Structure 1
Amino acid sequence: MDTARKPDRAAPGALTAFARFALCGGGVGIASSFAVTALAGLIPWALANALVTVVSTLLATELHARFTFGAGGRATWRQHTQSAGSAAAGYAVTCLAMLALRLLVAEPGAVLEQAVYLSASALTGAARFAVLRLVVFAQTRSRTVGARAARPLPATVARASSPADPAALCRAA
């Protein structure tokens, strides 16, 4: 399950990757909310949430590997594991934010609850983007740069210089 890059695809810049991250993550998040609601009619809500969280994290990691961070192929097991860890950390932070709200405000209104939850989600989303870009998918980008640098010379360049003239070979490279 190794990530295979296509040689003609360059890794996107930070802003493009962040826009793709928000699009993929947001799309998966919206689909997940509908899935949890549908499943919660059949099984307990906590179990539905756990199942949807696992599936949505796997799906989002694949989307991030193929689209968001320009890996151009499937995510590796290492990337899935690291992504799951960052998702679990984000889940814990949002839970702690809601717990803190309940400790500080006896009966918070729906608007305050949403503001706290969405703020915590936005902060953890930005942190998760950084972790995925700088840690989880960073090796894919560095491996690609190294592979590009080690590419052999095109046949036309190699034919244009004679083996007897090493200086011509250096100039062609």
Structure 2
Amino acid sequence: MTCPSLLTRRPAVGDAVGSLVARVRAEDTLGQFARFVLVGVSTTLVYAAFFATLEGLGYLPAHVVATAASTLLANEMHRRLTFHAGERVHWLTAQLEAGGVSVIGLLLSSASLGVLNSTVPDASVVTQVALVVTVTGLVGLMRFIALRWLFRPRTVTTA
């Protein structure tokens, strides 16, 4: 006779993956935040690739170009993937709303790189990117709050 414990279904790895995918696809705050982080990680990799490629121009030009390219990509990915607002929010509107917060991030990360460059002039590219990722992560949290609650479409109420 089969042991009763063998008859109970044990969760498979596929169940866990399916549950995680469902969680990320959810339209609540946690689902949106998970997508926001995934977009942030992927566009940070784009930033790092641009920065490393252009670093020979100097840290500031490389940083500005890499930030501009990765920010445009991140804003569009957030519009379409994170907040599923592709039909509701025009591309330019998304760039302007999220871009305002991104300018703050650019200023803070540029200042941080400037301080690093003046105190540790031979800092490696990895150290510079790590600094920018840290500052950008904090600014990213501000961006999520702004995009999730400040720039959301307002519902019209009738009295």
TM-score of the pair, normalised by structure 1: 0.57
1:7-156 mapped onto 2 (5 Å cutoff): 12-41=27-56, 44-45=57-58, 46-73=60-87, 75-96=90-111, 119-136=134-151, 138-139=152-153, 142=154
The CA distance in 2 between the partners of 1:130 and 1:62, in whole Å, is 17
TM-score of the pair, normalised by structure 2: 0.61
Percent identical among aligned pairs is 27
CA contact (8 A) 2:76 2:91 kept: no
Output one character per residue of 1:33-91: Cα deviation in whole Å (capped at 9) or x when no partner.
112212334xx233232222212111111100001012134643122112111011122
CA contact (8 A) 1:90 1:128 kept: no
The CA distance in 1 between the partners of 2:115 and 2:30, in whole Å, is 32
Between 1 and 2, higher relative CO (CA 8 Å, sep ≥ 6) is seen in: 1
- Size of the aligned set, in residue pairs, is 129
How far the C-alpha of 1:27 sits from its partner, in A, is 0.4
- Decide whether aligned partners of structure 1 residues 98 and 80 sit closer, same or farther in structure 2, where only a CA change above 3 A counts: same
4+ residue segments displaced more than 2 Å: 45-49, 72-76, 91-103, 112-123
CA contact (8 A) 1:11 1:71 kept: no
Root mean square deviation of aligned Cα = 3.5
CA contact (8 A) 2:64 2:106 kept: no
SS in 2 for 1:134: helix
